[in-house]
Amino acid sequence: MQRSSQPRTTAELSKSLHERLNTYALAASAAGVGMLALVRPAEAKIVYTPAHVQITPANWVYIDLNHDGINDFVLENKYNFASIYTSSFLSCYSANHGSANRVRGDAKSFIAFALRSGVRIGAANFPNLAPRMAKVVRNSQNSSARFGWPWANGGKGVKSRYLGLQFTIKGKTHFGWARLNVTFTSKHLIDAVLTGYAYETIPGKAIVAGATKGPDDGAQAASASIKTHTPTPAMLGTLALGAPGLSIWRRES
């Protein structure tokens, strides 16, 4: 058998097969991007704990914001008795001495702010010491009383006001709030009730006073009521058909 003296030529794919392979690659890439788009990022979440606990001189209340068994803050209602004057003081401290737990307040007067619902609580106004909330000093001889600090509100007290809280979880800063009602008895004693508390699970993310769920939770709930059409991922067998297969996939999706 005589061998051909002509040089061998490289076999080339037909034009139609080449177009099919290109179409397959593009469609497969688009399908991969579509699947990646379905992956949701980590969602912000607020952990809310309802409560109704009275704070009395005999019952100081500890707050474990993230329920890890470690108390983060303590609410104290102190009563001091003297021959002429008696006094009551409501305060909030970090339950862990030396920790980075802080109460939002004024750095000069060490007074804790009585925040209203909707106030943003973030990395600001957290002095090393801001425990003072309300005080009342009563004269036992004439039954007069002097009130002080924001939570006392001149003796009127406050309802549904918020403490801004900063604390740490595994060395990372988180923000939260505690809601209280503060009133005074007929004998001018402080009557305070903790009605709930919450914190943001994302480190460093601000929380809104009174918020019990994050914006991502709300968006997720809203999207559940909206019907959307999600294209069916292309099957490899369909994509292998090339341009005709891509047309079938588009019609099915």
The pLDDT tens digits for 1-50 are: 454 455 444 445 455 545 654 555 544 444 443 333 333 444 569 999 99
250 falls within a domain: no
Strands 132-139 and 190-200: unpaired
Among 183-187, 222-226, 229-233, the range scoring the smallest mean pLDDT is: 222-226
144 falls within a domain: yes
C-alpha closest to that of 125 among 168, 163, 72, 170: 163
The residue type at 131: P
Helix (H, G, I), strand (E, B) or coil at 73: strand
249 falls within a domain: no
Are the CB atoms for 136 and 153 separated by under 8 Å?
no
247 falls within a domain: no
216, burial (CB in 10 Å: exposed 0-12, middle 13-18, buried 19+): middle
CA distances from 230 to 48, 75, 129, 224, 238 (A): 34, 51, 53, 14, 18
Helix (H, G, I), strand (E, B) or coil at 115: strand
149 falls within a domain: yes
125 falls within a domain: yes
229 falls within a domain: no
Separation of first and last alpha carbons in the chain: 58
Listed as own residue / partner, the contacts of 60-64 with beta carbons closer than 8 Å and 24 or more positions apart are 61/194, 62/95, 63/95, 63/178, 63/194, 63/197
The residue type at 224: A
Determine the average pLDDT of the residues in 62-85. Answer: 94
Token output for 127: 């002095």
Domain extent at residue 173? 46-219
The pLDDT tens digits for 134-188 are: 999 999 888 899 999 999 999 999 999 999 999 999 999 999 999 999 999 998 9
Which residue has tokens 């002509």?
6
Number of domains composing the chain = 1
Neighbouring residues of 59: CB distance < 8 A, sequence distance ≥ 6: 53, 77
130 falls within a domain: yes
